Structure 1
Amino acid sequence: MKKTLLALVVAGFVLTGCDQKATPESPSQTETDTAVVVENQVQADDASTAEVPVTLPEIEQPEVAQPVADSAHSARNALDWDGTYTGILPCADCEGIKTELIVKKDGTFILTEVYLGKEDNIFEYEGSFNWNNAGNTIALPGAGDDSVQYFVGENQLFRLDQEGNRVTGDLADHYVLRKQ
């Protein structure tokens, strides 16, 4: 009797939760198979006390769509990114690089870098910056020897490494320019 009740409960869950494609007018294959299994179990329990294994049909799992980034909302069009950003970036052979980056709505920039503790230490670059396809990173072509890129966040810019990745590790917090 307990097995019959268990089979009915399992069948109820299968019928109500897993078959989203079936219409009320026509039972699905899963409903038909489950009903046959439950009916056979009830008949077996009534006919004898022998154990009859209950096998439920395999249930097809629905595909789960991966979340897709909403291209309509990016740092480029959702944040107030234009303005002046400052900070002191790490330096391998000096005390730090005092950095000021002005980004303008017209797509131009002015980057001023002061190498602290060195002579001939001021460098200034001007030009037009480019957004990446995702609208979250700007590249400053012509700003120094390397390609300079910044990930755009809320009131801050994160200096990226030469491959365009966020800097990680102990010094990661030092690669941030804050909006003034």
Structure 2
Amino acid sequence: MKKTLLALVVAGFVLAGCDQQAAPESPSQTETETAAVVEHQAQADDASVTEVPVTLPEVDQPEVTQPIADSAHSARNALDWDGTYTGILPCADCEGIKTELIVKKDGTFILTEVYLGKEGNAFEYEGSFNWNTAGNTIALPGAGDGAVQYFVGENQLFRLDREGNRVEGDLASHYVLRKQ
């Protein structure tokens, strides 16, 4: 009985040695089943039970891979981002801010803002815009009282808050300029 147990353990090591893949950190199903058979046979030796040969199925472990982001593509080099974008942005003390932003391939912009419901509240800013290092956000220096930033999407620009984050909540869909 001990020879059979030894032969089974040796066969398990031989089969495990034939596997060309790296061993996982946790025991595989085959190793667990082999251990269960060895334990069963040890109990059978103690109880004088007749041996039944067990053939373990070979189980292929799927290789798990994580997708790798393609750092060569960004909004800056993959989207047709230049053009005229319009929309009405929320306003704290007026009906809304009618906004037109023209971004050009040469890195310049023209931003026109009209505060609806107020007289004489039209503002125009011109200058050069900057891309962030990820190539997905433009900043308009000198436009307004703070850092005006837009996240560049497919045929739309998303106005970002003062910290450079997307606006969330009920009004999030109102902070979008659409390409004309």
Q: TM-score, normalised by structure 1?
A: 0.70
| 1:4 alignment partner in structure 2 | none
Q: Distance in 2 between matches of 1:49 and 1:117?
A: 96
CA RMSD of aligned residues (A): 3.2
Q: Distance in 1 between matches of 2:20 and 2:33?
A: 12
Please list the CA deviations of residues 48-100 of structure 1 after superposition, one character each: whole Å capped at 9, or x if unmatched: 169xxxxxxxxxxxxx7765532111111111100000001011111111000
| 1:21 alignment partner in structure 2 | 22
**Letter aligned with residue 21 of structure 2:** Q
| 2:37 alignment partner in structure 1 | 38
For residues 32 and 172 of structure 1, do their structure 2 counterparts lie closer, same or farther at Cα, with a shift above 3 Å needed? closer
Q: Distance in 2 between matches of 1:19 and 1:37?
A: 24
Shift of 1:44: 2.9
Shift of 1:132: 0.9
For residues 177 and 48 of structure 1, do their structure 2 counterparts lie closer, same or farther at Cα, with a shift above 3 Å needed? same
| 2:125 alignment partner in structure 1 | 125
Shift of 1:133: 1.2
Shift of 1:170: 1.3
Q: Distance in 2 between matches of 1:32 and 1:66?
A: 26
Shift of 1:33: 9.1
For residue 169 of structure 1, give the secondary structure of its aligned residue in structure 2: coil
For residues 39 and 163 of structure 1, do their structure 2 counterparts lie closer, same or farther at Cα, with a shift above 3 Å needed? same
Aligned pairs (5 A) from 1:6-85:
20-21=21-22, 35=34, 38-48=37-47, 68-85=68-85
Q: Distance in 2 between matches of 1:105 and 1:143?
A: 18
Matched residues, number: 148
Moved over 2 A (4+): 29-41, 64-70
| 2:9 alignment partner in structure 1 | none
Percent of residue pairs identical: 76
**Letter aligned with residue 22 of structure 2:** K
**Letter aligned with residue 97 of structure 2:** I
| 1:163 alignment partner in structure 2 | 163
Q: Which runs of 5+ in 2 are unaligned?
A: 1-11, 50-63
Q: Distance in 1 between matches of 2:37 and 2:87?
A: 71
